[in-house]
Structure 1
Amino acid sequence: MKKILYTLLVVGMASFSACTDDLNQYPNIEETSESVYANPDNYISALAKCYASFVTAGQGKGGEDPDLSSNNGYDYMRCYFNMQEAGTDEIGSTWIEGDNIGNLTFLTWDAQDPWVADMYYRSYYSISLCNEFLKNSTDSKIAGFTEAQQTAIRTFRAEARFLRALAYFHAMDLFGSVPFADENLIGSAALPERWEAAEIFEFIETELIECSAEMTDADHTDYGRAPRAAAWMLLARMYLNAATYNAGDHYSECMTYSQKVMDEGYMLEPEYAKLFNADNHQRVGKGQEIIFPLVVDSRNVVSWGATTYLACGQVDTDYGPAAATTGIANAWSMFRIRGEVPALFDMDNDDRAMFYTDGQDQYMDGGVSDRTGGYFVTKWSNLTDDGSVASNTENDGVDIDFPLFRLADAYLMYAEAAARTNTNLTEALSYVNELRNHRNAAQVAQEDLTATVGAIPYKFFLDERARELYWEAVRRTDLVRFDSFTTDKYVWQWKGGVQDGKAVDNKYNLYPIPATELSANPNLWNDNY
């Protein structure tokens, strides 16, 4: 049984009401922060709310008693997944009109798009929760508690800084230059100032380096909480993509922090499918592959987004496999994978090729909404290791954690950074081939790591990351890094809204800050929108 951190009955943390200036939205606390944080036992519950804000949409089951009144009302990870995947080669969301996802799918969004707005406000809601926690966990605030209580709260404080950095990273990666507010702005009448992406980068970098020193190691981290290696993983990912944030070349730092993760005692999982089933909580921690999961649990953390969205959305029993084969009560009939990604696999010799192809065309020649085109993905399963159904997904969602960071990504980040700097190529090749050996995929040669294919240097890594990490909400970021998201260096079906795909305006490398937010805060503006 899962050991759950995330109690949703968070003392004193009442839901937010929606408004356009979310940076100044702080919890409308009925008892007041002063009374809530007077009790040291309440700190873990307040921290739990910070964690849960990434996978739940409200205080109650499945998002009941919502935190925000927003366009769609969905949780953070449902929004983030769509922002990272919907417009890429990794997914075709066939329920275009019903899910209002056409503009994301065809790379034609604007500042009025509901998914764009929801993601923006979700990011800043999580930031605001962390700010409130940090304001009330300073050394002076906790000075009256016992030494043991103060020690525990300082660790909680480090985790809150990590979670805030995570939300700021997503905001920077998706929106570029964004408003900044920390705990010092709480109660101020001042509107948040716009920070350039490079400034946000520097803030996140400092926060992660500092907070990681106070977070627990792989040996001592409770399930569901972030260890120091999670901060290192986020640093490595940010360093790998630093040039896209106008922050310069940080490949050496990417290698350093990827190596720190690899030295922490995690191990690659030999059965790829077990990373994404209902027992994947058993693959978390030292000696396992998953470094930090976002917990989804049918008893305590029910979500209609996150992995419930993925597991139920991938099933379409009119055309695909029976829902019961992946432990799903009913099919949502939403998702396919576009044909270009299966084309990257040796389908018979790679455990990661988890596709159902019977009766399906590989490509979506009839359009994204044609449910006969595109293979089905069977990667996410609500079955346990012994084949039992973990939960009734119709009533309670799935029991699958979302593996936000796992060791395989550290291997690939290190190797890509090594290839781009022409350093440590022997080690880079060994990491790539060790990973591929665990996935029963063929070994590659050193020249594969540095080759330019078509117009794309180091294309092996763009392809290998698709093979290893498809539907794990990293694809848009990877495509942007390879200058392939908006350009004609790489096109896929229906990119830009045409069957053969086309380049689009490079402004679509970033999303716009929502128009409602621009109206509320004159310090903000969008470039190119």
Structure 2
Amino acid sequence: MKNIIKQKVIYILGLVLLIVGCTNDLDVEVKDPNALLADAFYSKPESYKQGLAGVYGNLTLTGASGPGSSNISGLDAGTSQYGRSFWNLQELTTDEVKWSWENDPGLRGLNTNTWTSDNVVIRGFFGRCMTQVAFVNEYLRQTTDAKLDGRGVSAELRNEIKTYRAEARFLRALAYYHLMDLFGKAGFVTENDPVGAYQSPQYDRSQLFAFVESELEAILPDLKNPLQNEYARADKAAAWMVLAKIYLNAEVFIGEDKYDQCLTYCKNIIDAGFVLSPVYANNFNADNHNNSARNEIIFPIVSDGVVTQNYGPTTVMVNAQVGSLEQNGADFGVAGWAGGLRVTKQFSETMLNGNYDNDDRNTIISEDRTIELTNMDNYGTGYITAKWSNKTSAGVNGSATEIVDTDFPMFRLADVYLMYAEAVLRGASGGSLTTAKDYINLLRNRANNTKLITVGDLNLDLILNERMVELYGEAHRRQDLIRFGKFTGGIYNWSWKGSVVSGIAISDIYKVFPIPRASVAANPNLKQNTGY
């Protein structure tokens, strides 16, 4: 699929066909002057795959005029890019990393856990998710049996379209999963609602959970088997992964224990043929779509420095991890944005506590820096890391010097191993503590860490640390801290939590983000989250 999404023209063609019904579905204004008639577009058999590419493209691209354009009115491209805004919300709000340039709209509030319903990054992600929902809905409207009958679509193509429709429904379920996790509610609309039905009913977490669960179960028979689809297209394993995620977090989402179900889907993925890349860093290199990481990555957001240009999470992380003191952009194959990202004292202390000193996952660069981020404006405070790269596994620079070729691994096998271990520790039946221990040691062995654990070492605190070390920068941390009861309150504080350098307790209202004020104004059925 990367080769398809890399063709901007295909994305544009797919996009403009979906614009007709978008504005009211989204509660945001979608703009494109080049709307085409759907029947004209779908007159060619290849257009159905191109239309699907347009839906996938919403994860990567932001508009039809290059990486600086946005098809959501009033939001810039960086603010509204799916992966980047998702990453901002899941990472900057935690103990992992902070954004140095706090004058960038919305980012100071995320750094310091003081956001409001006017935060543009929050609005950008809510709008991008609803954009995805609208794009999927229109694609499904254009691929019904009645539409295909009217266009004389062949039986062979119809069989392919059945899979395309399942993939589109996966992308919609993914968007609603993210809305459930970050906002706890959303306007709910499907292809069965009339185009223009913008005042959609509000679904709460329990309703969204039920929809995501039932939708993924319904499409599983029509998705391709694991590792049998084109790269970056959803297969059964991607659906299993989202199901495992909602079950792992079910106590947060719906107040129910679903660890047995989480374990079942983790085992499905583990048994499906995915394998760890023997080199940890290959998951985060410019050729991670085509090196040994390909069979570890379950579902990515693609990036390409020349064609699929976007200011997404990997472009941000590779450029912004370049240090202001070190000026080490050449190490990562980019010119770099010196000083953009620094890690917290608590992150550094976890990495340097003796368990991970000799571990390939520990990429901390300390130089002459202080471990504490004493001043956001002093880019020489706080350590930096070197996890992401725009160089290939062979050390060759990517195709461009700013926008990177590195795909963002939204889901990968290493996370499944850690989910398995956590589910077992939390009481799931059908698993084994010995197997859980073995999976963690597989990850440590892969990272050349000789400090292997025993079954007696297993506890939830170890799991939370292992998740940080293995997955930092991959947009899991906020969800993890909430699930472990360490995000709000004062049990665990980190640098700049609550806008204080040493960290202070924050209210439980921050376990979810506010519904953007603009969205509430557009859809009176949306009720603001408590405390905002």
Of 318, 332, 335, the residue aligned with 1:329 is 335
Q: Judging changes above 3 Å, is the alpha-carbon distance between structure 1 residues 178 and 100 closer, same or farther for their aligned structure 2 residues?
A: closer
Of 508, 512, 515, the residue aligned with 1:510 is 512
Structure 2: how far apart are the matches of 1:506 and 1:350? 35
1:175 aligns with 2:198: no
In the TM superposition, residue 379 of structure 1 has moved relative to its aligned partner by 0.7
* Structure 1 residue runs without a partner (length 5+): 451-457
Q: Which moved more, 1:170-179 or 1:421-430?
A: 421-430
SS at match of 2:298: strand
Q: Which moved more, 1:155-164 or 1:206-215?
A: 206-215
Aligned-partner residue type, residue 413 of structure 1: M
1:440 aligns with 2:448: yes
Partner of 1:88: 94
Structure 1: how far apart are the matches of 2:19 and 2:86? 20
Q: Judging changes above 3 Å, is the alpha-carbon distance between structure 1 residues 21 and 212 closer, same or farther for their aligned structure 2 residues?
A: closer
Structure 1: how far apart are the matches of 2:434 and 2:202? 43
Aligned 8 A contact 2:91 2:475 in 1: yes
Aligned 8 A contact 2:25 2:195 in 1: no
1:7 aligns with 2:7: yes
Aligned 8 A contact 1:6 1:48 in 2: no
Q: Please list, as runs of the form range in 1=range in 2, the aligned pairs for 1:418-457 lying within 5 A after superposition.
A: 418-421=424-427, 423=429, 424-441=432-449, 442-450=451-459
Aligned-partner residue type, residue 7 of structure 1: Q
**1:123-154, CA deviations, whole angstroms, 9 ceiling, x for partnerless residues?**
10111111111111223322421122111111
Partner of 1:453: none
In the TM superposition, residue 303 of structure 1 has moved relative to its aligned partner by 0.8
Of 41, 50, 60, the residue aligned with 1:55 is 60
Aligned 8 A contact 1:21 1:521 in 2: no
Structure 2: how far apart are the matches of 1:369 and 1:198? 42
- TM-score of the pair, normalised by structure 2: 0.92
* Structure 2 residue runs without a partner (length 5+): none
Structure 1: how far apart are the matches of 2:327 and 2:301? 27
Q: Judging changes above 3 Å, is the alpha-carbon distance between structure 1 residues 25 and 129 closer, same or farther for their aligned structure 2 residues?
A: farther
Partner of 1:351: 360
Partner of 1:140: 146
1:150 aligns with 2:158: yes
Partner of 1:379: 387
Aligned 8 A contact 1:70 1:118 in 2: no
Q: Please list, as runs of the form range in 1=range in 2, the aligned pairs for 1:65-76 lying within 5 A after superposition.
A: 66-74=70-78, 75-76=81-82
Q: Judging changes above 3 Å, is the alpha-carbon distance between structure 1 residues 219 and 305 closer, same or farther for their aligned structure 2 residues?
A: closer
**1:226-285, CA deviations, whole angstroms, 9 ceiling, x for partnerless residues?**
221111111111110111112511111100001100011010112111110111112478
Aligned 8 A contact 1:56 1:63 in 2: no
Structure 2: how far apart are the matches of 1:162 and 1:369? 42
Partner of 2:254: 246
Structure 2: how far apart are the matches of 1:197 and 1:161? 19
- TM-score of the pair, normalised by structure 1: 0.92
Partner of 2:173: 165
1:309 aligns with 2:316: yes
Aligned 8 A contact 1:426 1:446 in 2: yes
SS at match of 1:355: coil
Partner of 1:197: 205
Aligned-partner residue type, residue 22 of structure 1: L
Aligned 8 A contact 2:31 2:73 in 1: no
Aligned 8 A contact 1:339 1:363 in 2: yes
Structure 1: how far apart are the matches of 2:364 and 2:114? 29
Q: Judging changes above 3 Å, is the alpha-carbon distance between structure 1 residues 188 and 52 closer, same or farther for their aligned structure 2 residues?
A: closer
SS at match of 2:299: strand
Aligned-partner residue type, residue 510 of structure 2: Y
Of 487, 501, 520, the residue aligned with 1:499 is 501
Structure 1: how far apart are the matches of 2:209 and 2:505? 28
Aligned-partner residue type, residue 164 of structure 2: F
Structure 2: how far apart are the matches of 1:56 and 1:5? 9
Aligned-partner residue type, residue 372 of structure 2: Y
Structure 2: how far apart are the matches of 1:392 and 1:473? 25
**1:83-111, CA deviations, whole angstroms, 9 ceiling, x for partnerless residues?**
11111111011111135411111111111
Aligned 8 A contact 2:285 2:392 in 1: yes
Q: Please list, as runs of the form range in 1=range in 2, the aligned pairs for 1:388-467 lying within 5 A after superposition.
A: 388-394=396-402, 397-421=403-427, 423=429, 424-441=432-449, 442-450=451-459, 458-467=460-469
Between Structure 1 and Structure 2, which shows a larger proportion of helix residues? 2
Structure 2: how far apart are the matches of 1:35 and 1:26? 21
In the TM superposition, residue 527 of structure 1 has moved relative to its aligned partner by 2.8
Partner of 1:454: none
Partner of 1:479: 481
Structure 2: how far apart are the matches of 1:369 and 1:250? 44
Partner of 1:292: 299
SS at match of 1:291: strand
Aligned-partner residue type, residue 60 of structure 2: V
In the TM superposition, residue 513 of structure 1 has moved relative to its aligned partner by 0.6
Q: Which moved more, 1:30-39 or 1:203-212?
A: 30-39
Q: Which moved more, 1:192-201 or 1:368-377?
A: 368-377
Structure 2: how far apart are the matches of 1:338 and 1:296? 27
Partner of 2:46: 41
Structure 1: how far apart are the matches of 2:189 and 2:422? 33
Q: Judging changes above 3 Å, is the alpha-carbon distance between structure 1 residues 422 and 184 closer, same or farther for their aligned structure 2 residues?
A: closer
Structure 2: how far apart are the matches of 1:20 and 1:86? 31
Partner of 1:30: 35
Q: Which moved more, 1:197-206 or 1:424-433?
A: 424-433
Q: Judging changes above 3 Å, is the alpha-carbon distance between structure 1 residues 30 and 293 closer, same or farther for their aligned structure 2 residues?
A: same
Q: Give the number of equivalent residue pairs.
A: 516
Q: Which moved more, 1:385-394 or 1:112-121?
A: 385-394
Structure 2: how far apart are the matches of 1:19 and 1:127? 12
**1:188-243, CA deviations, whole angstroms, 9 ceiling, x for partnerless residues?**
54620011101101100111112222111234211221221111111111110111
Q: Judging changes above 3 Å, is the alpha-carbon distance between structure 1 residues 292 and 189 closer, same or farther for their aligned structure 2 residues?
A: closer
Q: Which moved more, 1:212-221 or 1:489-498?
A: 212-221
In the TM superposition, residue 332 of structure 1 has moved relative to its aligned partner by 4.6
Aligned-partner residue type, residue 58 of structure 1: G
Structure 2: how far apart are the matches of 1:33 and 1:207? 26
In the TM superposition, residue 44 of structure 1 has moved relative to its aligned partner by 1.2
Q: Which moved more, 1:302-311 or 1:96-105?
A: 96-105
Structure 1: how far apart are the matches of 2:258 and 2:365? 40
Aligned 8 A contact 1:319 1:372 in 2: yes
Aligned 8 A contact 2:5 2:308 in 1: no
Structure 1: how far apart are the matches of 2:23 and 2:230? 35
Q: Which moved more, 1:322-331 or 1:10-19?
A: 10-19
Q: Judging changes above 3 Å, is the alpha-carbon distance between structure 1 residues 190 and 70 closer, same or farther for their aligned structure 2 residues?
A: closer
Q: Judging changes above 3 Å, is the alpha-carbon distance between structure 1 residues 26 and 494 closer, same or farther for their aligned structure 2 residues?
A: closer
